């Protein structure tokens, strides 16, 4: 696809869903990482449902237990079952752990485009999740668990975008390698036929996720465009991603740090000093989570 064609052509919802299906994000059946990820992110999911879903996937079950027993959650007692993890850590924490484990397996399905480093993309997603949760703990504690999940999944659309518009994504990668530091939204408007934000929003809508997660995903690069009811979460994800990039968790399409969104900070009531303080605490918390998620 030529650059001009990519600018003119826009993919519709059906095409986005076909691409997501083709790489396993919208697979059939009630089990598997994508289906579990969709189920556990629904607001009305119960502990019994999570336990039952993970019991059908031994590898995911084991990974959840490994993370639950990691220093990130600071448990002094050994957790040997998901049911016990739900009691000790709570439903929200286990949802986040399971979503992180599922994300890695979901993105690992597609290795067809080696010019995009999906491992680095997962690394950035983990960093955003940790940072967004830390920010929420300071300014919006009730959103901390949701901020972790929203940050974790915010870039899932890149995998769909790669499959749907390989030419457009490759053109953006080449611009990055040539030193183009403009925002990803601007690059997409010039080179891509569909944005990664729209791709992930369509997937989330199909999964029937909460509107807050859908809108946070759709507007994570410009959170002040999100509907006001969901703007807090979008701002947390945006600032979490920025903090992650500043700490070195970059990826192919965002290879360098970006300026903090001052409007998002003001909306959340956060100061530069508060974020700087969190930046000092971030490396240890991120290292603890990464060690549990990426080990083995």
Q: Model-level pTM? A: 0.89
The number of folded domains in the chain is: 1
Give 238-262 pLDDT, tens digit per residue.
999 999 999 999 999 999 999 999 9
260 HSE (CA, 13 A, CB side): 21
Q: How far apart are CA 182 and CA 34, in angstroms?
A: 32
Sign of CA dihedral 223, 250, 1, 200: negative
What is the model's pLDDT at position 77? Answer: 74
Looking at residue 118, the DSSP 8-state letter turns out to be H
- Going from the C-alpha of 32 to that of each of 14, 55, 114, 177, 295, the distances in angstroms are 22, 11, 24, 36, 21
* Domain range for 40: 3-294
What's the pLDDT score for residue 255? 96
SS (H, E, C) 156-219: HHHHHHHHHCHHHHHHHHHHHHCCCCCCHHHHHHHHCCCCHHHHHHHHHHHCCCCHHHHHHHHC
CA separation for the pair 2, 32 (Å, rounded): 36
pLDDT digits (tens, 9 = 90+) for 102-160: 887 777 665 556 778 888 999 999 999 999 999 999 999 999 989 999 999 999 999 89
CA distance 175 to 69: 42
> Residue 29 to residues 19, 32, 168, 203, 211: CA-CA distances in angstroms?
17, 8, 32, 16, 24
- Residue 103: what are its φ and ψ, rounded to 5°? -60, -45
Q: Which residues of the chain have pLDDT under 70?
A: 1-9, 27-31, 108-113, 294-296
Instruction: Kindly report the CATH number assigned to the domain that includes residue 196.
Output: 1.10.3210.10
């Amino acid at each position: 696809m030529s650059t001009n064609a990519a600018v003119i052509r826009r993919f519709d919802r059906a095409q986005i869903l076909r691409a997501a299906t083709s790489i396993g994000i919208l697979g059939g059946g009630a089990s598997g990482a994508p289906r579990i990820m969709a189920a556990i992110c629904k607001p009305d999911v119960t502990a019994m449902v999570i336990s039952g879903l993970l019991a059908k996937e031994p590898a995911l079950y084991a990974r959840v237990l490994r993370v639950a027993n990691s220093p990130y959650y600071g448990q002094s007692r050994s957790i040997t079952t998901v049911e016990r993890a739900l009691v000790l850590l709570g439903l929200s924490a286990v949802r986040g752990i399971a979503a992180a484990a599922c994300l890695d397996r979901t993105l690992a399905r597609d290795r067809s485009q080696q010019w995009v480093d999906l491992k680095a993309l997962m690394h950035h997603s983990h960093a955003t999740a940790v940072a967004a949760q830390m920010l929420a703990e300071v300014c919006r504690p009730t959103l901390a668990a949701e901020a972790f999940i929203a940050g974790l999944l915010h870039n899932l659309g890149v995998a769909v975008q790669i499959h749907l518009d390989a030419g457009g994504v490759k053109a953006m990668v080449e611009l990055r390698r040539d030193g183009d530091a403009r925002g990803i939204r601007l690059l997409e408007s010039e080179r891509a036929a569909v944005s990664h934000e729209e791709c992930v929003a369509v997937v989330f809508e199909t999964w029937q996720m909460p509107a807050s997660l859908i809108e946070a995903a759709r507007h994570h690069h410009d959170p002040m465009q999100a509907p006001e009811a969901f703007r807090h979460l979008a701002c947390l994800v945006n600032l979490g991603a920025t903090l992650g990039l500043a700490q070195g968790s970059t990826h192919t399409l965002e290879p360098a740090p970006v300026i903090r969104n001052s409007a998002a900070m003001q909306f959340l009531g956060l100061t530069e000093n508060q974020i700087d303080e969190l930046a000092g605490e971030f490396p240890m918390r991120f290292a603890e989570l990464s060690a549990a998620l990426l080990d083995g």
